[in-house]
Amino acid sequence: MTLPAEFHDIAKRVNNWGRWGADDEIGTLNLITDEVVRGAAAEIRSGRRVPLALPLKEDGVQVGMIPGRINPLHTMVQINQELFGPGTVACSDDAVSMGLQAGTHWDALTHVSHSGRIYNGRPAGTITAHGRAEFSGIDKATPVVSRGVLLDVARAKGLDRLPGGHAVTPADLAEAEEFGRVTVRPGDIVLVRTGQIQVYLAGDRHGYGFPSPGLSVRTPEWFHARDVAAVANDTLTFEIFPPEIENLWLPVHALDLVEMGMHQGQNWNLEKLSTACAEEGRYAFLLSAMPEPFVGGTGTPVAPVAVL
Amino acid sequence: MTLPAEFHDIAKRVNNWGRWGADDEIGTLNLITDEVVRGAAAEIRSGRRVPLALPLKEDGVQVGMIPGRINPLHTMVQINQELFGPGTVACSDDAVSMGLQAGTHWDALTHVSHSGRIYNGRPAGTITAHGRAEFSGIDKATPVVSRGVLLDVARAKGLDRLPGGHAVTPADLAEAEEFGRVTVRPGDIVLVRTGQIQVYLAGDRHGYGFPSPGLSVRTPEWFHARDVAAVANDTLTFEIFPPEIENLWLPVHALDLVEMGMHQGQNWNLEKLSTACAEEGRYAFLLSAMPEPFVGGTGTPVAPVAVL
Amino acid sequence: MTLPAEFHDIAKRVNNWGRWGADDEIGTLNLITDEVVRGAAAEIRSGRRVPLALPLKEDGVQVGMIPGRINPLHTMVQINQELFGPGTVACSDDAVSMGLQAGTHWDALTHVSHSGRIYNGRPAGTITAHGRAEFSGIDKATPVVSRGVLLDVARAKGLDRLPGGHAVTPADLAEAEEFGRVTVRPGDIVLVRTGQIQVYLAGDRHGYGFPSPGLSVRTPEWFHARDVAAVANDTLTFEIFPPEIENLWLPVHALDLVEMGMHQGQNWNLEKLSTACAEEGRYAFLLSAMPEPFVGGTGTPVAPVAVL
Amino acid sequence: MTLPAEFHDIAKRVNNWGRWGADDEIGTLNLITDEVVRGAAAEIRSGRRVPLALPLKEDGVQVGMIPGRINPLHTMVQINQELFGPGTVACSDDAVSMGLQAGTHWDALTHVSHSGRIYNGRPAGTITAHGRAEFSGIDKATPVVSRGVLLDVARAKGLDRLPGGHAVTPADLAEAEEFGRVTVRPGDIVLVRTGQIQVYLAGDRHGYGFPSPGLSVRTPEWFHARDVAAVANDTLTFEIFPPEIENLWLPVHALDLVEMGMHQGQNWNLEKLSTACAEEGRYAFLLSAMPEPFVGGTGTPVAPVAVL
């Protein structure tokens, strides 16, 4: 089995290998310039801060569908322990075991490979158990602070949430842009709201992941044309799942991460942000979404915040 | 053994229990108002972003001194795995086991207790293995985005770093304020630079933690008087270690976290920020330092960023 | 809510506190004397070895019903890594995160407490996050090698497995003894087969745990009268679940572990042993079931083996 | 760099590939027949049981020399938790994160590869992060119960422990055989005592691993000639470390595991066994050393016991 010609055609059109030099490890994060950040600062008007991370807990969004990606097991190593003797100040300390992509997270560019390659044409074999990702590990990412734009696809269509089988198309994105009276600019981080996370928030952990609305294989070209820095949404799989084209699994991952070098975010809770943007009548803000710098990590938990 | 009268005297002066109501769980984070955040936005001028987290890796800052607080063990669960059949897009996924306070982190208000109490007078016994912190867990924190101020104590004194036995006093903080021509305001997050993290960065993992410069037991009153929202620095122990007063261990922790309800940050790498502030000639910026929302967590890794 | 009088009556009859001195931490393991072990050796006739542990894997018997008790997350830290340079011998290494009682395991005597006490009358408060179990941790257990006896309750009744609601009674145990033409002796480790593990082995992970046959609250007296050293079976909960007496949860745990000081084993796969014993026409053997010596552990994985 | 001719010469002489068929995954464990086990049972005379595992704890034998091989981080997930309401039976539960080869352990045959091959000529590439070891994982091992023989090399020489630079030779093994008036037989598990673990037991964690006495590259032929089933000793590295032949790292691992298909045990505490054997004047016993069946594991903790 090989990837179909259709995939390779799109791949050619969105490919950024070499664009920022042969040594580049961060892809479209290069598009976040100081000027872009100054523009982001200009979007802060009310000062309202909206957090976008799901709580990290044992009954998180993972249900065993993806092998090895466990919800956080959060345990105590000290509880009110008077380490320096009776009557002294007492300490509590905790530990965690978890999949780095278990909850609200960023995919590193190395999260997927295809045809033996990762972003910028490097061999997939540079990812090992010993060294993890030698190139483009999540610790290489420059600070992810930029202008954020919410494309509220569900709200633009007057829906609470998109149905499970809905592939979000470029037309949907343009519609949401128009709805929000906002224009996506180079260096922006685009948040695409489907409303799917409501399924999880309502307690249906199994229904959340599958079937899921998500980005269509047509969207990478749209993001590429606009020189977007990164994209995140409120689903487990990011792209529509099961896929639009039979047997073509995770094509959006391969196009975004490998070809464009564009980081992807998943399981972002955009519900409160949707309300806040609707209330304030504006869909751009400063977004801070700093990866935890796991050396060689192929993903990372993230606690993003939109500052309106 | 009990805590000395001297401790209780200071405790009385900085106590914030009840100040934001009996139900409050976040303490001085209440001081970060929308207005404060708008003020923080106004500090963004160049758009330069400076990350403040140490890399997360197995040879991190922990050396076994604090039981159970292990550096990240970062392992692979998938490496270029063609989950959907040969020739398909291949996935890499990783997992981690770590102490939540192993690297660059925030202490939750529940990280310490004294005399059986945590912040706002609640019983320390509300922290259990089963539920972790019932009150004031790190997941309760409102978004930690505010104006940040660097008090570069080492640079103000013309030193690369403070010597191991140096307790940072209110006079030192005031000197750094003056040096930076900046005035700490209510709702600010104050970063205190000692330079101690250079010891770790130079490869001396054991020398980093002990002996260490750090905040004096006199500083909580200074922070309280200025209504600071949170304080972080570049040491393992936050406060001077070993302590100033014999057998009075972790008094600053007890005063900041339990009495004032003020979150503390440790192991923040302030070296590049020091250079950036010196270059730009200003010591205030927007700081985003979002906790990972571990439910009931007594601490959390954080990847802070200063936006100048 | 308090434990009913009926519970306390049985408790009084099976209580072993002080029997082996005030300092004792191992309870009925004291009954495994050198003589008992010589008797166990005499049971080895064919030399057939039957392993009794379930495979340790991510889709093990835990399904999230018991908070924090996760199946093994088994990850790689090295894969064919030529640590000493290209062309040298290459190493593979792995790591695990798991609940100590996730799979085939022993409960330590400290796994449960009631009325504030653990075995031998010690305060339950001696179990802390810092030190784990100060007394009767699983590392304190003396070697668990003794004569094993299979009481094949299901086979004695001509059943593949007992129905979910079946409480195994003393009469059932006596029936299985007679069926196996074996007499339980002091120091024996008794394995009680219900056949329930077939539910798990057939792929029904959720059906396995609940409802489950298991030991009746009447069995501790039977084991006490025979001076049994330990008991294990092939269920998740050990005792019948839900319980026989409304609102009296885990009474068998409390009687066996706290009152008698008798270790319990769960999730033991007794299917092949059942076949082997039937084939050889004898139900006694040498059993080796060594705990992993986790210091202060309240339980441990175990890989038991019957040697016929 | 390639392995020297000398290595390949020995490899040829000890190679067991195909000996038990092309499908074999367990190597010399095939030599433990029912008859061998009956012979082991005949060695039980006093009934004395001697445990051979080190306690599993955070300050175990690992000191960071081997990346990713962490000592157990043992944490609590429940402490006396009344899961079914106030006044009910209370539960304590714990969890662990650890390297599978962190303490007293067995190497699976897949723990090392050389020249792209693992035992029985299979490709090393069959070990992946996704599936771990597809062949010869530790879960494939048949029950490790056999006759055990202690070759007390240190005691035979009248030493407390061998010096760091001592390579244990075939002559040393023969000397210990004679000293113990015991003859190694096919199917035996041989325990080789150097006394090195005293360094760890005395508190010198760093001195224990390096320099270390250990098995010479000449010993695999000796074990092969006697058709030994498995070998374990009381060192971190099993073989002499640093190695006898410059730049030939881990040759014994490669010969034992890859060529012969013979499992190796490390960090076994043989001190009490040495005393017991000396007291009883005999060096053979029944040994039970069951691997925990981690699916695809390249190693496993083990809690061995010798029954004299």
Contacts of C83 in chain D (CB under 8 A): 249
pLDDT digits (tens, 9 = 90+) for C48-85: 999 999 999 999 999 988 888 999 999 999 999 998 98
Whole-number pLDDT of residue B67: 87
Please check the confidence at residue B73 and state whether its pLDDT lies above 90: yes
User: Strand pairing of C284-288 and B90-99?
Assistant: unpaired
**Which pair of tokens denotes residue D134?**
């597809």
CB of C80 within 8 Å of a chain B CB? The answer is: no
Please check the confidence at residue C44 and state whether its pLDDT lies above 90: yes
Task: Please compute the mean of the pLDDT values over residues B45-64 and round it to a whole number.
Answer: 97
Please tell me the distance from the alpha carbon of residue C27 to that of residue C43, in angstroms, as a whole number.
25
Cα A129 to Cα A53, B60, C81, distances in angstroms: 28, 18, 8
pLDDT digits (tens, 9 = 90+) for A119-144: 999 999 999 999 899 999 999 999 99
Which of C68, C90, C139 is the closest to D124 by Cβ? C90
Whole-number pLDDT of residue B229: 98
Q: Which of B97, B100, B101, B205 to mutate to test the interface with D (most CBs of D within 10 A)?
A: B97
Cis status, amide bond into C242, omega within 30 of 0: yes
Q: Which of A71, A74, A97, A205 to mutate to test the interface with C (most CBs of C within 10 A)?
A: A97
pLDDT digits (tens, 9 = 90+) for B74-96: 999 999 999 898 989 999 999 99
Contacts of A129 in chain C (CB under 8 A): 76-79, 81, 92
Neighbours of chain C (3+ CB pairs under 8 A): A, B, D
Please tell me the distance from the alpha carbon of residue C193 to that of residue C197, in angstroms, as a whole number.
9
CB contact under 8 A, A130 and C81: yes
Are D146 and D191 within 8 A, CB to CB? no
SS3 of A179, please?
helix
Are C297 and D287 within 8 A, CB to CB? no
Which of B58, B68, B73 is the closest to D58 by Cβ? B68
Task: Please compute the mean of the pLDDT values over residues A229-251 and round it to a whole number.
Answer: 95
Whole-number pLDDT of residue D1: 59
Range of the domain at A33: 6-65+100-307
Q: Measured between CA atoms, how close is C54 to chain A, in angstroms?
A: 19
Q: Which amino acid is at B274?
A: S
Contacts of A95 in chain B (CB under 8 A): 68-70, 97-100
Please check the confidence at residue B1 and state whether its pLDDT lies above 70: no
Q: Is residue D109 part of a domain?
A: yes
Percent of chain B exceeding pLDDT 70 equals: 100
Average pLDDT, chain C: 97
**Which pair of tokens denotes residue A151?**
């494309």
Whole-number pLDDT of residue D2: 79
**Which pair of tokens denotes residue C207?**
């059906």
Q: Is residue D184 part of a domain?
A: yes
CB of D262 within 8 Å of a chain C CB? The answer is: no
Residue D248 CA neighbour count, 13 Å, CB half: 18
Q: Quickly count: other Cβ atoms within 10 Å of residue B6's Cβ.
A: 12
CB of B82 within 8 Å of a chain D CB? The answer is: no
Helix/strand/coil (H, E, C) string of A81-120?
ECCCCCCCCEEEEEEEEEECCCCCEEECHHHEEECCECHH
Query: How big is the A-B interface in CB pairs under 8 Å?
Result: 302
Q: Quickly count: other Cβ atoms within 10 Å of residue B179's Cβ.
A: 16
Please tell me the distance from the alpha carbon of residue A35 to that of residue A146, in angstroms, as a whole number.
10
Whole-number pLDDT of residue A65: 85
Please check the confidence at residue C192 and state whether its pLDDT lies above 70: yes
CB of C191 within 8 Å of a chain D CB? The answer is: no
CB contact under 8 A, A75 and D79: no
Task: Please compute the mean of the pLDDT values over residues B148-156 and round it to a whole number.
Answer: 98
Q: Of D267, D238, D289, which Cα lies nearest the Cα of D49?
A: D289
Please tell me the distance from the alpha carbon of residue A148 to that of residue A192, in angstroms, as a whole number.
11
Task: Please compute the mean of the pLDDT values over residues B226-248 and round it to a whole number.
Answer: 96
Please check the confidence at residue D304 and state whether its pLDDT lies above 90: yes
Q: Measured between CA atoms, how close is A98 to chain B, in angstroms?
A: 6
CB of A12 within 8 Å of a chain C CB? The answer is: no
Q: Confidence class of residue B251 from pLDDT cuts 50, 70 and 90?
A: very high
Please check the confidence at residue D233 and state whether its pLDDT lies above 80: yes
Task: Please compute the mean of the pLDDT values over residues C292-300 and round it to a whole number.
Answer: 98
Which of D75, D77, D130 is the closest to B78 by Cβ? D130
Whole-number pLDDT of residue B66: 87
CB of A158 within 8 Å of a chain B CB? The answer is: no
ipTM of the complex: 0.97
CB contact under 8 A, A68 and B77: yes
Whole-number pLDDT of residue D66: 87
Element (H, E) at C225: helix C219-226
Q: Which residues contact D271 (CB under 8 A, 6 or more apart)?
A: D195, D197, D198, D201, D234
Are B246 and B2 within 8 A, CB to CB? no
Find the closest chain B residue to C127 by CA distance: B129
**Which pair of tokens denotes residue C111?**
């796994």
Q: Measured between CA atoms, how close is B199 to chain D, in angstroms?
A: 20
CB of A295 within 8 Å of a chain C CB? The answer is: no
Q: Of D276, D300, D196, which Cα lies nearest the Cα of D239?
A: D196
Which of D67, D68, D77 is the closest to A75 by Cβ? D77
Please tell me the distance from the alpha carbon of residue C66 to that of residue C237, in angstroms, as a whole number.
11
Are A192 and A52 within 8 A, CB to CB? no
Which of B67, B76, B129 is the closest to C75 by Cβ? B76
Contacts of A75 in chain D (CB under 8 A): 75-77, 95
Please tell me the distance from the alpha carbon of residue B74 to that of residue B97, in angstroms, as a whole number.
7
Please check the confidence at residue A222 and state whether its pLDDT lies above 80: yes
Are C111 and C95 within 8 A, CB to CB? no
Q: Confidence class of residue C1 from pLDDT cuts 50, 70 and 90?
A: low
Contacts of A79 in chain D (CB under 8 A): 76, 79
Q: Is residue D87 part of a domain?
A: no
Which of A38, A69, A251 is the closest to B93 by Cβ? A69
User: Strand pairing of C284-288 and C145-151?
Assistant: antiparallel
Are B120 and B282 within 8 A, CB to CB? no
CB of B63 within 8 Å of a chain A CB? The answer is: no
Element (H, E) at A175: helix A170-179
Q: Confidence class of residue B2 from pLDDT cuts 50, 70 and 90?
A: confident
Q: Which residues contact C53 (CB under 8 A, 6 or more apart)?
A: C103, C104, C268, C269, C301, C302, C303, C304, D290, D292, D293
Q: Measured between CA atoms, how close is C69 to chain B, in angstroms?
A: 11
Whole-number pLDDT of residue D247: 87
Task: Please compute the mean of the pLDDT values over residues C275-283 and round it to a whole number.
Answer: 98
SS3 of A215, please?
strand
Helix/strand/coil (H, E, C) string of chain D?
CCCCHHHHHHHHHHCCCCCCCCCCCCHHHHHCCHHHHHHHHCCCCCCCEEECCCCECCCCCCCCCCCCCCCCEEEEEEEEECCCCCCCCEEEEEEEEEECCCCCEEECHHHEEECCECHHHCEHHHEECCCEECCCCHHHCCCCEEEEEEECHHHHCCCCCCCCCCEECHHHHHHHHHHCCCCCCCCCEEEECCCCHHHHHCCCHHHHHCCECEECCCHHHHHHHCCCCEEEECCCCCECECCCCCCCCCHHHHHHHHHHCCEEEECCCCHHHHHHHHHHCCCEEEEECCCCCECCCCEEECCCEEEC
Q: Measured between CA atoms, how close is B265 to chain C, in angstroms?
A: 23
Whole-number pLDDT of residue B65: 85
Q: Is residue B17 part of a domain?
A: yes
CB of A65 within 8 Å of a chain C CB? The answer is: no
Q: Which residues contact B9 (CB under 8 A, 6 or more apart)?
A: none
Q: Quickly count: other Cβ atoms within 10 Å of residue B39's Cβ.
A: 18
Residue C168 CA neighbour count, 13 Å, CB half: 35
B159: domain CATH number?
3.50.30.50
pLDDT digits (tens, 9 = 90+) for C194-244: 999 999 999 999 999 989 999 999 999 999 999 999 999 999 999 999 999
Residue C267 CA neighbour count, 13 Å, CB half: 27
Does the predicted TM-score (pTM) go above 0.90?
yes
Q: Is residue D94 part of a domain?
A: no
CB contact under 8 A, C79 and B77: no
CB of B66 within 8 Å of a chain D CB? The answer is: no
Helix/strand/coil (H, E, C) string of C66-128?
CCCCCCCEEEEEEEEECCCCCCCCEEEEEEEEEECCCCCEEECHHHEEECCECHHHCEHHHEE
pLDDT digits (tens, 9 = 90+) for D34-44: 999 999 999 99
SS3 of C32, please?
coil
Percent of chain D exceeding pLDDT 70 equals: 100
User: Strand pairing of D230-233 and D189-192?
Assistant: parallel
CB of D112 within 8 Å of a chain C CB? The answer is: yes
CB contact under 8 A, B67 and C130: yes
Cα C249 to chain centroid, rounded: 18
Contacts of B46 in chain A (CB under 8 A): 34, 38
Task: Please compute the mean of the pLDDT values over residues A102-130 and round it to a whole number.
Answer: 97
Q: Which residues contact D275 (CB under 8 A, 6 or more apart)?
A: none
Are B120 and B136 within 8 A, CB to CB? yes
Cα B54 to Cα C115, D33, D156, distances in angstroms: 47, 55, 53
Task: Please compute the mean of the pLDDT values over residues D206-227 and round it to a whole number.
Answer: 97
CB of A6 within 8 Å of a chain C CB? The answer is: no
**Which pair of tokens denotes residue C216?**
């009746």
Cα C209 to Cα C192, C199, C205, C246, distances in angstroms: 16, 9, 7, 19
CB of B97 within 8 Å of a chain C CB? The answer is: yes
Please check the confidence at residue D151 and state whether its pLDDT lies above 70: yes
Place of tokens 């609102």: C247
pLDDT digits (tens, 9 = 90+) for D110-133: 999 999 999 999 999 999 999 899
CB of C295 within 8 Å of a chain B CB? The answer is: no
CB of D79 within 8 Å of a chain A CB? The answer is: yes
Q: Which of D75, D97, D130 to mutate to test the interface with A (most CBs of A within 10 A)?
A: D75
Please check the confidence at residue C247 and state whether its pLDDT lies above 90: no
CB of B87 within 8 Å of a chain C CB? The answer is: no
Element (H, E) at C198: helix C197-201
Contacts of B86 in chain A (CB under 8 A): 1
Q: Measured between CA atoms, how close is D209 to chain A, in angstroms?
A: 21
User: Strand pairing of C230-233 and C284-288?
Assistant: unpaired
Contacts of C67 in chain B (CB under 8 A): 130
Average pLDDT, chain A: 97
CB contact under 8 A, D76 and A76: yes
Task: Please compute the mean of the pLDDT values over residues B150-171 and round it to a whole number.
Answer: 97
CB contact under 8 A, C77 and A130: yes
pLDDT digits (tens, 9 = 90+) for C30-42: 999 999 999 999 9
User: What's the structural domain count of chain D?
Assistant: 1
DSSP code of residue C223: H
Whole-number pLDDT of residue D67: 87
Please check the confidence at residue A66 and state whether its pLDDT lies above 70: yes
Task: Please compute the mean of the pLDDT values over residues A209-214 and round it to a whole number.
Answer: 95
Q: Of B297, C128, B131, B8, which Cα lies nearest the Cα of A87?
A: B8
Please check the confidence at residue A247 and state whether its pLDDT lies above 90: no
